[in-house]
């Protein structure tokens, strides 16, 4: 299976190199985006390996990112999450400990923390976002080497979803999938199909040739994994008719589809790790770590 690809940029036009790493277990895509001029890079949406059957954790995918970074002679400047993930554990904390690079996420993560604090009945959980080194507001800018970076708040899939626009590349997390698969679900706690529609329209307002990199690929019709498209391709070919549907038509389509979908198998496992910036639970007196799974917490979810 095709699990790695690099989309080359260039120094002259301020286009980053984007290396994508596909995880077949969670259908997730991790990225190392780098400035060709300075060799500084950001890691986006890294995966911490977790086997729900045995409870085992590992760092195979995160270590693969580090091996690529070392091989390419890159320097890690940022570790970025686009949102608190529901289908895999974040390796952000592990990679911070390995590299010393600051971690960051959208500022609205505090709302997600407050929501899941209630779901988990977790009074000790801090809900101020202090588990990350930086919280980005909508429209905030910073640099990656010599490349400009802009943060777009892109709610709908989650309250805290953000898009990172780095040079000519936009990392659109779970808002858009490849054109042959469509768009993200909006039925998680805090999700909204109306907000998702407006977030999609903001992304599609970027220049036509903007490279879009998505957070998952589900390989429709058994094709090889893909994760890069352009604004033009999404507007013209996305199966959810993004270039011609009205908001009402899109919301009706999205809500009907979401009503049929079972929840991700790791949502209750992953959120208690990911609302803490990828930190696993602290060991108890026997040295073991434990997850807490609330029963009947997501009422109305479809069963597989």
Cβ atoms within 10 A of the Cβ of 270, count? 24
Residue 288 lies in a domain: no
Q: Smallest Cα–Cα separation from 166: which of 190, 188, 132, 142?
A: 142
Residue 59 pLDDT more than 90?
yes
- Using a 10 angstrom Cβ sphere, with 0-12 exposed, 13-18 middle and 19 or more buried, the burial of residue 120 is middle
Phi, psi angles (nearest 5°) of residue 170: -120, 130
- Give the number of domains in the chain: 1
Residue 297 lies in a domain: no
With H, G, I as helix, E, B as strand and everything else as coil, classify residue 25. coil
Q: Smallest Cα–Cα separation from 261: which of 204, 187, 196?
A: 187
Helix residue spans in 35-74 (DSSP H): 60-72
Which position has the token pair 């060991």? Answer: 283
Residue 294 lies in a domain: no
In terms of DSSP bridges, do strands 47-51 and 89-90 run parallel, antiparallel, or are they unpaired?
antiparallel
| Residues paired with 44 in a beta bridge | 31, 80
Residue 256 pLDDT more than 90?
yes
Residue 289 lies in a domain: no
Residue 141 pLDDT more than 90?
yes
Residue 80 pLDDT more than 90?
yes
CA 113 to chain centroid, in Å, comes to: 16
Categorize the per-residue pLDDT at 167 as very low, low, confident or very high, splitting at 50, 70 and 90. very high
Q: What is the pTM of this model?
A: 0.97
Q: What is the dihedral of CA 94, 98, 99, 105, to 10 degrees?
A: 10
In terms of DSSP bridges, do strands 211-213 and 169-171 run parallel, antiparallel, or are they unpaired?
parallel
pLDDT of residue 286: 98
With H, G, I as helix, E, B as strand and everything else as coil, classify residue 73. coil
Tokens of 233: 């391709």
What is the span of the domain harbouring residue 78?
Answer: 4-268
Mean pLDDT value across residues 85-90 = 97
What strand order describes the sheet that includes 75-80? 4-7, 17-23, 28-34, 40-44, 75-80, 103-106, 134-136
Residue 67 lies in a domain: yes
Categorize the per-residue pLDDT at 299 as very low, low, confident or very high, splitting at 50, 70 and 90. confident
Specify the CATH number for the domain of residue 163: 3.60.15.10
Identify the H or E element spanning 269: helix 267-274
Categorize the per-residue pLDDT at 304 as very low, low, confident or very high, splitting at 50, 70 and 90. confident
Phi, psi angles (nearest 5°) of residue 252: -60, -45
pLDDT in tens, 190-219: 999 999 999 999 999 999 999 999 999 999
Tokens of 67: 């091996």
Residue 209 lies in a domain: yes
Q: Which residue has the higher pLDDT, 47 or 243?
A: 47
Residue 298 lies in a domain: no
Tokens of 260: 């049929």
Residue 72 pLDDT more than 90?
yes
Residue 161 lies in a domain: yes
With H, G, I as helix, E, B as strand and everything else as coil, classify residue 258. helix
Residue 81 DSSP class: -
């Amino acid at each position: 299976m095709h699990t790695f690809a690099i989309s080359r940029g260039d120094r002259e036009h301020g286009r980053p190199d984007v290396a994508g790493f596909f995880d077949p277990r969670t259908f997730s895509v991790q990225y190392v985006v780098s400035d060709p001029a300075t060799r500084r890079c950001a890691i986006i949406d890294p995966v911490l390996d977790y086997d729900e059957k045995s409870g085992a954790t590992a760092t195979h995918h995160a270590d693969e990112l580090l091996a690529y970074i070392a091989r390419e002679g890159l320097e890690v400047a940022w570790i970025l999450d686009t949102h608190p993930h529901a289908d895999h554990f974040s390796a952000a904390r592990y990679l911070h400990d390995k590299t010393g690079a600051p971690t960051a996420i959208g500022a609205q993560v505090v709302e997600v923390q407050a929501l899941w604090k209630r779901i988990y009945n977790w009074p000790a959980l801090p809900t101020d976002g202090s588990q990350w080194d930086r919280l980005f507001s909508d429209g905030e800018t910073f640099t990656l080497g010599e490349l400009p970076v802009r943060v777009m708040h892109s709610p709908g899939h989650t309250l805290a979803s953000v898009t990172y626009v780095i040079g000519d590349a936009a990392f659109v997390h779970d808002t858009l999938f490849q054109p042959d698969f469509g768009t993200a679900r909006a039925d998680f706690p805090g999700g909204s199909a109306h907000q998702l529609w407006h977030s999609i329209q903001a992304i599609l307002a970027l220049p036509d040739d903007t490279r879009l990199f998505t957070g998952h690929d589900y390989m429709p019709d058994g094709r090889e994994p893909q994760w890069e498209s352009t604004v033009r391709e999404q507007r013209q070919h996305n199966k959810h008719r993004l270039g011609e549907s009205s908001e009402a038509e899109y919301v009706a389509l999205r809500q009907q589809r979401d009503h049929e979908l079972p929840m991700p198998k790791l949502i209750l496992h992953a959120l208690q790790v990911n609302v803490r910036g990828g930190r696993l639970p602290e060991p108890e007196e026997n040295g073991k770590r434990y997850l807490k799974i609330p029963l009947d917490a997501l009422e109305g979810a479809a069963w597989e």
